[in-house]
Structures are given as C-alpha cells and as structure tokens.
Amino acid sequence: MSVKEREVLVVARNLGNLDRLSSLDGPLVIFGTIATSIARKVKEGNGTAIIPSQYLKIILDTQDAVNAIFDNFDLYDAKTKSPLIHELLKHSYTRTK
C-alpha cells in the first residue's frame, strides 16, 4: 500500500481546544486550510476523524506545523489503530530488506 492510499485516524488530545483550532482565525490557519479542515472534521467526529495521509504530507512541511499537529492530535493508522509512526517505520523497514 502506498503512503498516498493510507488513511490516518486523527484523535484530539484536548476536546475543548477544537473550537479554537478549527476556527478560521485559529492557530492552525497559518498552515493552510487543510489544517483547520482536519480540526473541523475531528470536532464534528466528537474527537476523532479519518483523513487521507496526503493531507499530512501537505501540512507537515515545516517544523512549526509538525509541532502544532503533534501538540494537538494523536495520529494512528486507520486500519491497524497503531501509532502512525510505528506503521511508517515498519513499512520503511520492510522496504529496505
């Protein structure tokens, strides 16, 4: 499965923070409309949402964006429910064998 096809389960770390994160004048807006869109989907999903991994590829282009996402959300592989980083490392390891 390519990274483009992978779906990511996004879980809010603080449900009370979602109003601010999903607003058009919130702190995520500087990372683009996809960042606020993710926050909005998580808010609509009562703290969770499934998104295409491509959204993360677009957003996570700076260290500030990485910090903002990982400060506010936990990311899991949507199929296995394991932390996304574990799945990516596992996938990377099997490709190098």
Tens of each residue's pLDDT in the chain, 97 residues: 444 478 999 999 999 999 999 999 999 999 999 999 999 999 999 999 999 999 999 999 999 999 999 999 999 999 999 998 887 777 666 666 5
Q: What is the DSSP string of 37-56?
A: HHHHHHHHTTTEEEEEHHHH
pLDDT at 1: 45
CA dist 14 and 6 (Å) reads: 25
Angstrom distances, CA of residue 25 to CA of 10, 18, 36, 49, 66:
21, 13, 9, 21, 19
pLDDT at 5: 76
Can you say whether residue 6 is alpha, beta or left, with left for phi > 0 and alpha for psi between -120 and 50 degrees? beta
- pTM of structure: 0.85
pLDDT at 86: 81
H or E segment to which residue 71 belongs: helix 63-72
